[in-house]
């Protein structure tokens, strides 16, 4: 192979499933191997075979522990990968609690799905991976320190830079020594870049003067109002006060790692300073409790780490670990706050809390993180009047609120600034980990800063040859597992759910049984018209061959 090749197997015009494969003459590397989230068409990719042979991958470089970056590593191991997984120490610690939790959620939800499938006479499904796969995966982690080079192939070395996004999160710098070239090719993968003035982290760092940059663009079209930590807490305080109802709840769907710890810290501080009464705060996530222990262990690495530790000791904060403790939350009286995973409402205990509260006027749901297209969180954020959760319909009468000041991602101006600090970028800038509008917004912001021909927006499973004259798209490679126009889009599963909800609403609003019967008859007629004609056997001729 004369030049390295870079393959984009995830987070291509979408915000989940990060997975980039680098091929060199000496072997193959993966940078991240994340789980897909969103519409069912994307989530089904988690169950399908990888578009490469895992046994031929020599090593994985993991930017951070979030599931959309690390969540398919156990499947990679199950399917034949046996090399090292390089990460920072904190990323390895967090992965050791996050990946077992991911396997547990999959096993529980698949068990529930299979019970529903059995009633419908549908085939059973298997989880993407199991706890045993996770156990094998965790043993492959090899920890590295920030800013220190380490070899991963005979012609590639790597070092990590603090990305300011999550405890242990890193941008990944690689040097690839090409045969016959005196100067190595330098590549930089941003990972997820944290915003300025984040509660628990210093501003992100990374090198300049590189050949290629692969940069996230999650909030590329967004301008946030610059606020300090006091203003952020004031916004949270106002939302809590507005949600307070004698028999109500404030539900906060939250990523169990980082976001939950930030919320605990700020809520505890507001109570300690008297800006809020001593409201019971329940963290309904075993993963959040375990992750919080990792944060407490590494508090000296954190900005405001002492504040976090102090907040964790607040008498108002309670963790629910067992299923029985979680179920008991539905019987609580008096206003309280529940922080529960997952942040996009796609799995975990938040779905059970939503089933109990979503249809009640006295409840408020506060969204504090990015909601990908097709997720339940995004559907609620977009104003749905009804939703379906685990096959059941629920009216949305709870207040749905959003604040964006807890985001773990840089906004558009901060991304432009981060990219500008990497100059000169000699050959190409790949924009990934963003939906279409976000990438378009970031592209427009970079007009006049980065040459248009140097900005590249890859699609799923696309391959580029990297040389000292630029990136070349390779034609004739395998077809993408999902066409570009179906990535980060609502799919037919979402359309069916919306149709069922609309039909139920229409039937409920009709004045009598007769009009309902007419609508049902019309619907059945429409279905009959769309059915393909059934083949008829010819008279006098045997059906046997």
Question: pLDDT of 61-90, one tens digit each?
Answer: 999 999 999 999 999 999 999 999 999 999
Q: Which residue has the higher pLDDT, 296 or 242?
A: 242
Q: Which helix (H) or strand (E) holds 378?
A: helix 376-381
How crowded is residue 433: how many other Cβ atoms within 10 Å of its Cβ? 30
Note the pLDDT of residue 251: 97
Model confidence at 346: pLDDT above 80: yes
Tell me the pLDDT tens digit for each residue of 277-312: 999 999 998 888 888 888 888 777 777 777 777 777
Total-model pTM: 0.82
CB 441 within 8 A of CB 431: no
Note the pLDDT of residue 8: 97
* Three-state SS at 310: helix
- 229-402 — its CATH code? 3.40.50.10890
Look at residues 51, 484, 456 and name the one whose alpha carbon lies nearest to residue 214.
456
Note the pLDDT of residue 347: 81
Note the pLDDT of residue 457: 96
Average pLDDT over residues 217-242: 92
Look at residues 495, 384, 504 and name the one whose alpha carbon lies nearest to residue 39.
495
Q: What angle do CA 196, 199, 204 make, to 5 degrees?
A: 35
Nearest 10 degrees: CA dihedral of 290, 291, 292, 293?
Answer: 60
Torsions phi, psi of 327, nearest 5? -60, -35
β-bridge pairing 185-189 and 210-216:
parallel
Model confidence at 531: pLDDT above 70: no
What is the distance between the alpha carbons of residues 99 and 34, in angstroms, rounded to a whole number? 11
Tell me the pLDDT tens digit for each residue of 194-216: 987 666 777 899 999 999 999 99
Pick the CATH number of 5-222+408-486 from 3.40.50.2000, 3.60.15.10, 3.30.70.1710, 3.40.50.2300: 3.60.15.10
Model confidence at 222: pLDDT above 60: yes
Average pLDDT over residues 481-499: 71
β-bridge pairing 185-189 and 170-176:
antiparallel
β-bridge pairing 156-162 and 386-389:
unpaired
Task: List 435's β-bridge partners, or say none.
Answer: none
CB 29 within 8 A of CB 6: no
Delimiting residues of CATH 3.60.15.10 domain(s) in the chain: 5-222+408-486
β-bridge pairing 462-467 and 5-8:
antiparallel
Delimiting residues of CATH 3.40.50.10890 domain(s) in the chain: 229-402
Poorest-confidence range of 112-116, 302-306, 451-455?
302-306
Note the pLDDT of residue 463: 96
CA distance readout (Å), 382 to 156, 356, 387:
45, 21, 12
Q: Give residue for tokens 């075993």.
A: 286
Q: Which residue has the higher pLDDT, 496 or 49?
A: 49
Look at residues 248, 164, 233, 240 and name the one whose alpha carbon lies nearest to residue 401.
240
Packing angle, helices 131-138 and 89-119, rounded to 10: 170
In a 10 Å sphere around its CB, with 0-12 CB exposed, 13-18 middle and 19+ buried, how is residue 253 labelled? Answer: buried
């Amino acid at each position: 192979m004369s030049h390295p090749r870079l393959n984009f197997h995830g987070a291509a015009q979408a915000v989940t499933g990060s997975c980039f494969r680098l091929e060199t003459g000496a072997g193959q590397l993966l940078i991240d191997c994340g789980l897909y989230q969103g519409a069912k068409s994307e989530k089904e990719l988690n169950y399908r075979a990888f578009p490469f042979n895992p046994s031929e991958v020599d090593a994985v470089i993991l930017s951070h522990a979030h599931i959309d970056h690390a969540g398919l590593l156990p499947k990679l191991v199950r399917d034949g990968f046996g090399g090292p997984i390089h990460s920072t120490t904190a990323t390895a610690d967090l992965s050791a609690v996050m990946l077992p939790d991911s396997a547990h959620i999959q096993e529980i939800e698949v068990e529930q799905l299979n019970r529903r499938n059995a009633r419908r006479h549908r085939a059973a499904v298997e989880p993407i991976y199991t706890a045993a796969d996770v156990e094998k995966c965790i043993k492959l982690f090899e920890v590295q320190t920030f800013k220190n080079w380490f070899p991963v192939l005979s012609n590639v070395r790597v070092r990590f830079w603090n990305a300011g996004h999550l405890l242990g999160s890193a941008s990944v710098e690689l040097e690839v020594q090409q045969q016959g070239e005196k100067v190595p090719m330098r590549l930089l993968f941003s990972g997820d870049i944290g915003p300025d003035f984040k509660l628990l982290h210093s501003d992100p760092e990374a090198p300049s003067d590189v050949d290629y940059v692969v940069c996230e663009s999650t909030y590329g079209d967004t301008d946030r109002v610059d606020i300090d930590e006091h203003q952020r807490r004031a916004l949270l305080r106002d939302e809590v006060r507005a949600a307070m109802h004698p028999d109500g709840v404030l539900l906060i769907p939250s990523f169990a790692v980082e976001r939950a710890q930030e919320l605990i810290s700020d809520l505890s501080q507001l109570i300690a300073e008297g800006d809020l009464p001593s409201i019971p705060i329940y963290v309904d996530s075993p993963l959040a409790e375990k992750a919080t222990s990792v944060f407490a262990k590494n508090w000296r690495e954190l900005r405001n780490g002492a504040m976090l530790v102090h907040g964790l000791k607040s008498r108002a904060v309670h963790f629910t670990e067992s299923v029985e403790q979680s179920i008991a939350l539905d019987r609580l009286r008096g206003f309280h706050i529940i922080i529960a995973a997952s942040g996009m409402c796609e799995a975990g205990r938040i779905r059970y809390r939503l089933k109990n509260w979503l249809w009640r006027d006295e409840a408020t749901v506060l969204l504090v993180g990015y909601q990908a297209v097709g997720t339940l969180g995004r559907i609620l954020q977009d104003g749905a009047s009804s939703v379906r959760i685990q096959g059941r319909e629920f009216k949305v009468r709870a207040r749905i609120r959003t604040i964006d000041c807890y985001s773990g991602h840089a906004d558009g101006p901060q991304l432009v600034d981060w990219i500008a600090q990497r100059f000169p970028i000699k050959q190409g800038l790949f924009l990934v980990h963003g939906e279409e509008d976000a990438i378009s917004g970031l592209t427009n912001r970079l007009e006049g800063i980065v040459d248009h021909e140097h900005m590249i927006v890859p699609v799923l499973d696309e391959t580029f040859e990297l040389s000292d004259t630029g990136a070349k798209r390779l034609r004739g490679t395998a077809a993408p597992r999902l066409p570009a126009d179906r990535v980060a889009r609502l799919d037919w599963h979402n359309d069916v759910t919306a149709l069922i909800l609309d039909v139920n609403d229409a039937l409920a609003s009709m004045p009598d049984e007769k009009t309902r019967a007419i609508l049902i008859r019309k619907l059945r007629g429409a279905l009959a018209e769309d059915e393909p004609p059934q083949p008829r056997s010819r008279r006098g001729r045997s059906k046997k061959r």
